[in-house]
Chains A and B, each alone.
Chain A
Amino acid sequence: MSERFTAATGRKLVSRASAEALGTLSHLVIDVPKRQVTSLVMGKGRKARLVDWDEVSGFGPDAIMIADESALHEPRDDHESAAGGGKLELVGKRVLSDMGNELGAVTDVVFDPASGAIETLVIGEQEVAASSILGVGSYAAVVKAPRD
């Protein structure tokens, strides 16, 4: 079963140890070369906390299970700070082809909740395979040009 970023946003993060809800998912961060979800971001701005994908024991339809509160951490480097600040949030981001033409904005990202593997990028009516993603930054997501 595939999962979508827009459907996962707002889902509870629950500690398996205490059964407590620790917060809600604000967005997901991907690693471009690996085409993988690498971390989950909870909260926004300076209060943002990240959870590494490896700490997720179950990405379920109703809750995202993590071992305990200690899995939450503050941004550890520039990339994670940018992620925590929302600068790398994919949904809504401008999409450019590597030929310099704007294709629209990311409307959704389809991924496998078991492995975290990115499957497709949805750009309005178009779908782009994860293998075509070349880069994601604060300005744009860059994808290999469809024949344009």
Chain B
Amino acid sequence: MRLLVTGSAIRGLPVVTTSGGEDVAEVRDLIYNPEAGRVVGLTLNKRGFLAGRRREVLPAQSIHAIGRDAVMIDDADSLVLPGQAPDEVGAPPTGRDVTGNEVLTEDGKRLGKVKDVVVLVGSNGEVVGYEIEPESGGTGYIPLPAQLAVSGSALVVPDPTQDYVESDLVGLGAAVDEFRSRLGMK
């Protein structure tokens, strides 16, 4: 059983220092690398309503943990200007937004469209699934293998994924490990 959270729930979370208990920023957006299945960093806003954007970014390796209620960092030095961050974070390549991409299985079945990423709570940005809009409408959640093929408009997932389309995050949290071990056994 794993605790999971969607990208949209991470946006707006306070970024809090573990050593100081201060809310130094809040999450503006996630910088996602779809090939790696990882959030590689976060862009930031100042704290407070309409306080505006912060120039600094937060590379994932400086994140202590992404939780349900806050993103924890050691101290404010973890926030760096884009020029001081790894290129992937400071100047990420374009075309990495997977929102709206079609999800196709290896045997050519369409599972739906990507709505959001699903992140493992307590990790520093491990993406374990996607929130999708299935053909039938509504919202579904699919687990991801460790790596997958992505183009600008579609991503291809292993066939067994279609057996693990869950209706909520709790279901996905329970399914992730089983899904991955099934893939590993093949």
Contact = CB atoms under 8 A, between A and B. Distances in A.
Interface in A63-97: 96-97
A37 interface: no
B70 interface: yes
Interface of B: 13-14, 16-23, 64-72, 121-122
A110 interface: no
A98 B65 contact: yes
Q: Per DSSP, are chain B's interface residues mostly helix, strand or loop, or mixed?
A: loop
Name, among A96, A100, A137, A139, the residue most crowded by chain B CB atoms within 10 Å (CB to CB): A100
Name, among A136, A139, A148, the residue most crowded by chain B CB atoms within 10 Å (CB to CB): A139
A141 interface: yes
Interface of A: 96-102, 134-142, 148
A98 B19 CA distance: 9
9 contacts: A99-B67, A99-B121, A100-B66, A102-B68, A134-B18, A134-B19, A138-B23, A139-B22, A140-B16
A118 to B, nearest CB: 15
Nearest to B67: A100
